[in-house]
Structure 1
């Protein structure tokens, strides 16, 4: 079996141990951008099967980290399209590779928001497409991750449930100064303010959560008290939006400590009709400078709810109501516990 792997430089020695059956390339994003990494977590197998999700290919992800992904089998129409994204990574891992003015037609995709791929399923056909980041890695027809996310949120009419490890409406890693980029933040606020959508945001809290994230989350939740109401003809408030944020924390191990583990690592959101499942965190650095993939799923029949959307909605509901969540109100803008409310999970 022939296997190609894209990853960190430390994976290079895999090839030497595989008798020629494994090829490995590593991407150095500092050649093309101010920073960035290959943050995609995906498999494509035999042009028929694939996986997209949050899990790194590391034992910690499989045993010590809360992950979420989607595996599909015998689905060549999607596996072949995903393979085009991985082929771009492979090309960019070659020595001296440069981002082309445009990618070859062979890497173009026919699937995007307005024209997704229709995938036959016993429970009802699914409308699916893949998005990508950064811009230089997008072939003809390929939608960007942030465009895909904003379009889905702008289409939400009733509910928007979000779950992610890192979120900020500005870049975090640029030097000497970071820049504002509020497209996702504004889309969330728009949904609650203009269309009275009920927004729930599940945010990961762990040992590496920066204090600055809390003020961004408080800013979102604080808007909830100022959201306008839709009134009936009898002047009664009948509908209003809301934004509620909870933190979710995987408990520490009882014995010992494993670095960079025990964390809620998911990156997805669901509306009443659609799913976005990604490999990137939600800060502009990822959309502009880091390689990631998003998968959008909705029912091909707009009058029906996708069974996959329903499954992910159930997962969110379980996590939202679990004993591992903490209301954002228990923390101040700097991430410190308020009024002695510290909980032990």
Structure 2
């Protein structure tokens, strides 16, 4: 017995510390630690572990929607695709919906690998045919209509290793069913578009979220949300309007501009006005963005916002990997907000025009102090790190090198 105990102790020591999971009923916070940084969080599981666990548990069906697909031999997404293939080989029915415009960002070998998985139906959808300049920007999966994942992680090896990302594993039954209904609507819309048929809007007026719920899903665009799901754009404004003391925001970038034909960038005031109104009431706002946000004209809008009392902005520069420059990586890409230490917002949308109004995006609102505090602590970790520096009004920032 003593010998067995010693062997078990040695095995545990060799395996390293078990990674805990921070969860509240129905929701687990999931986080990608950018490799070779000090931003680890041992109480948060990583998306590869969570996704593979979900795929391994699948019995009947898996639905996945993504903006693009980009694998690399030997990297983390390889493992995810292998587990997805294993599910298909077990007879699990898989539907994979990808944005047509995401082809330019994709690695086609990975897409072909997905298409060759048994029982997997892969479709491209040009979401802009529904909503002008819109895209499928949501990143989510639904397994057996019983469990789901929503987060900032793209189906990209870099998102799983070299980018600051945040998401939620969801087993709240009602919300999972809503996510499944959104996927069904977009899947059916893709079929109609392929046949050259019109896709009728589901909502003619803005549908407000039911704020009496402690946990609820909002989505965009409002016109193509199923019954019972509120509009994410109007909900973000309502939540900011209700803030009383502090708002913490983490984003890839923030710019009050939209997209229009001819490469035009019309002004998009919706979120900017809401933040400025909160500041005018005396609410403290801490906005953290990646160094990608220093390009023009976005940087000028950031500087304008930074002039207001109560507004703090920090730019995050993650160090390059020791292996060398990785295109479109080494940035913060999370889309999160915590309000007054009471409310958490975790989603897939960038905060600029074209995302919360025209594109398919998903956001989860949790009125839970434990989750709000954990999200605020996650924000504070990067905020206080050597990677985050206050925005300097007088500084001429160099154009960021993305790819």
TM-score bracket, normalised by the shorter chain, equals: 0.7 to 0.9
User: What is aligned with 1:281?
Assistant: 350
Change (3 A) 1:331 1:18: farther
Task: Determine which of 323, 335, 343 is the counterpart of 2:397.
Answer: 335
Could you tell me how far 1:319 is from its partner in structure 2?
Answer: 1.2
Could you tell me how far 1:114 is from its partner in structure 2?
Answer: 2.8
Gaps of at least 5 residues in structure 1 are 104-109, 117-126, 225-241, 300-305, 338-345
The two structures, once aligned, show a CA RMSD in angstroms of 2.3
Q: Within 2, Cα distance between the matches of 1:327 and 1:46?
A: 45
User: What is aligned with 2:36?
Assistant: none
Alignment pair present for 1:315 and 2:378: yes
Task: Determine which of 363, 376, 384 is the counterpart of 1:294.
Answer: 363
User: What is aligned with 1:205?
Assistant: 291
Could you tell me how far 1:179 is from its partner in structure 2?
Answer: 2.1
- The worse-fitting range, judged by mean Cα deviation, of 169-178 and 23-32 is 169-178
Q: Within 1, Cα distance between the matches of 2:259 and 2:317?
A: 22
User: What is aligned with 1:175?
Assistant: 262
Q: Within 1, Cα distance between the matches of 2:264 and 2:306?
A: 26
Could you tell me how far 1:264 is from its partner in structure 2?
Answer: 0.7
Q: Is the 8 A contact 2:208 2:234 kept in 1?
A: no
Change (3 A) 1:176 1:45: closer
Alignment pair present for 1:55 and 2:153: yes
- Per the normalisation by structure 1, the TM-score is 0.78
The structure with the largest helix share of the pair is 2
User: What is aligned with 1:107?
Assistant: none
Change (3 A) 1:131 1:217: same
User: What is aligned with 1:230?
Assistant: none
Kindly provide the CA deviation profile for residues 250-278 of structure 1, in whole angstroms up to 9, marking residues without a partner as x: 11123322221111101111101211111
User: What is aligned with 1:119?
Assistant: none
Could you tell me how far 1:191 is from its partner in structure 2?
Answer: 0.9
Q: Is the 8 A contact 2:320 2:330 kept in 1?
A: yes
Could you tell me how far 1:289 is from its partner in structure 2?
Answer: 2.3
How many residues align structurally? 293
Could you tell me how far 1:282 is from its partner in structure 2?
Answer: 0.7
Gaps of at least 5 residues in structure 2 are 1-91, 101-107
User: What is aligned with 1:32?
Assistant: 130
Change (3 A) 1:268 1:173: farther
Q: Is the 8 A contact 2:279 2:311 kept in 1?
A: yes
- Per the normalisation by structure 2, the TM-score is 0.68
